[in-house]
Amino acid sequence: MIANRGILRINSMDMVPKIYTTLDGLQSDAVKYGLICDGMYWFTSESGLMAFDYTKERFFSFENEADNRLFTYRIFPDPEGNITQNLYPEQMITFDRNVFAEQKTTTKIYLKEAKLSGKIIPNDSLFTLPFDQNNFVFLFGNMGNKGLNHPAYQYRINGRSWQSLENNIISLYNLSPGTYLIQVGNKYDQKNLFTLTVVIIPPWWKTAWFYTFVSLFLTGLTFLVYKKRITSIRKEEAEKNLLKQRISEIEMTALRAQMNPHFIFNCLNSINRFILVHETDAASEYLTKFSRLIRLILDGSREDFITLDKELDALKLYIEMESMRFQDSFEWKINIDPGVRLETVLLPPLILQPFVENAIWHGLMQAPAYGQKKLFIQIYKMDDIISIEISDNGIGRQKAREIKSKDGNKQKSHGITLTEERLKLMEKIKGIKTEVFIEDMYDAQKQASGTKVKIQIYS
């Protein structure tokens, strides 16, 4: 005991001192006399008799007993084990230990009163209320005692740290939406807890379903905006591609219009020559072939692309007409590999004619009269590439340029240039890639022996 400062306890095991005051359960810090009896430390103070269970560090008070506050002096046990004090000469007061035994017995805590915003509401173990009704006061009682003694009784919310139960009341104000599990129990008896639950319902704009709805709405809105933007971009790209395709088609039509008159002019010159030399039969046959060729040309003029078999039909007529015009002065042959499906290969109309025309006019017809002049066309497929080779054994490109230079004709032939441009336009329109290779051929003496044109179509 320390004068007016509570109780000092020293543990004999570690000699560590500890002071107990009203904060630990004393009714008064003015502790006077004490004794140890049956494992309990009994003592008197200005507030009366108390007991201390030093093994559990628990205080017991008996303020509800009528003579309790008279115990302020020395105490001693009587023969029956009750706590006794000499009050006056020949007068004693005794504290019945049965009262202490009753207080040590576990008692039941219950909810005595519940208030919502100052108004009493029916008691229950579950209170479910909207977000705007969130101010509670709970008053607790203890069956078996007249009241709950501080600080032996305590409470906690949602499993957090325990707090002392002040005046048997728990006050909760402005509770946020959520669930609150409130537990009230004896500090020294954690097994028997009184439990109640308070549920504050959130407003509709703070509920999970509303957040889910907003999230889905925003996601849907974002998707719609994204989809609309993608659709708009695709539409713009489609319009641009359509415009580019239309421009390419116009360019293709213009180039074809330039080529057809060029070819027809040459044919008309040949017909005129037959007439002038009075070869009427030849002129008639030539006119028949020419009319068939014109029909094919007109049919092809309505299309930007025709199949390779139709292209070869027109090309054969052209070569036959040129062979007649040059009095069968050259041999020609078209060899087609069986693996090539002509009806599936697309080409611009009359795309091969300029190369054949160059081979005949500038290669074969410029060669010396002796020797066999040959024109050979081969079509074959290797992997996914279709190749068309046009070869002649004429004088070659270098000699042809020298002859043109001597004749003073320095104008560049437009047929090949236009053909290459048309092939490029086909790649833009149809996405069919083509390449043109022109190779000069030489014999063993490294003399020019002709020209080979190779057109590759990537399928």
The reply to whether 192 falls in a domain is yes
Q: What pLDDT score was predicted for residue 10?
A: 84
229 with 199, same domain: the answer is no
CATH of residue 192's domain is 2.60.40.10
Q: Count Cβ atoms within 10 A of the Cβ of residue 128 and give its class: 0-12 exposed, 13-18 middle, 19 or more buried.
A: exposed
CATH of residue 268's domain is 3.30.565.10
Give me 253's structure tokens: 């039509």
Dist CA 124 CA 321 (whole Å): 113
334 with 417, same domain: the answer is yes
76 with 27, same domain: the answer is yes
159 with 13, same domain: the answer is no
Give the domain-ending residue among 139, 174, 205. 205
Q: What pLDDT score was predicted for residue 127?
A: 93
CA–chain centroid gap for 166, Å, is 55
Q: In this structure, how many other beta carbons lie within 10 angstroms of the beta carbon of residue 41?
A: 16
252 with 318, same domain: the answer is yes
230 with 200, same domain: the answer is no
Q: Is the CB of residue 21 less than 8 Å from the CB of residue 38?
A: no
The reply to whether 201 falls in a domain is yes
Q: What is the total count of domains within the chain? A: 3
Q: What pLDDT score was predicted for residue 102?
A: 60
Q: What pLDDT score was predicted for residue 107?
A: 64
Q: Is the CB of residue 380 less than 8 Å from the CB of residue 387?
A: yes
The reply to whether 210 falls in a domain is no
Element at 224 (helix H, strand E): helix 208-276
90 with 152, same domain: the answer is no
Element at 379 (helix H, strand E): strand 373-382
Q: What pLDDT score was predicted for residue 103?
A: 60
Q: What pLDDT score was predicted for residue 150?
A: 45
3-state SS, residue 300: helix
Q: Is the CB of residue 49 less than 8 Å from the CB of residue 37?
A: no
Q: Count Cβ atoms within 10 A of the Cβ of residue 365 and give its class: 0-12 exposed, 13-18 middle, 19 or more buried.
A: middle
CA–chain centroid gap for 326, Å, is 72
The reply to whether 215 falls in a domain is no
Amino acid in position 131: F
250 with 293, same domain: the answer is yes
334 with 237, same domain: the answer is yes
The edge-to-edge listing of strands for the beta sheet with 126-130 is 126-130, 189-201, 178-186, 153-157, 163-164
The reply to whether 423 falls in a domain is yes
3-state SS, residue 48: strand
The reply to whether 294 falls in a domain is yes
403 with 375, same domain: the answer is yes
Report mean pLDDT in 10-residue bins for the chain, 459 residues. Answer: 75 85 83 85 89 83 81 86 80 79 66 91 90 92 58 85 88 93 83 90 88 92 94 86 66 56 71 74 81 81 86 92 86 93 90 90 84 92 93 87 64 69 84 91 88 91
Question: Nearest CA to 34 among 20, 13, 52?
Answer: 52
The reply to whether 216 falls in a domain is no
3-state SS, residue 346: strand
| The total number of residues written for the chain in this structure | 459
81 with 227, same domain: the answer is no
The reply to whether 399 falls in a domain is yes
3-state SS, residue 263: helix
391 with 269, same domain: the answer is yes
Query: In terms of residue numbers, what domain contains 11?
Result: 7-104
Give the domain-ending residue among 104, 121, 155. 104
Bridge partner residues of 102 (DSSP): none
Give the domain-ending residue among 177, 205, 233. 205
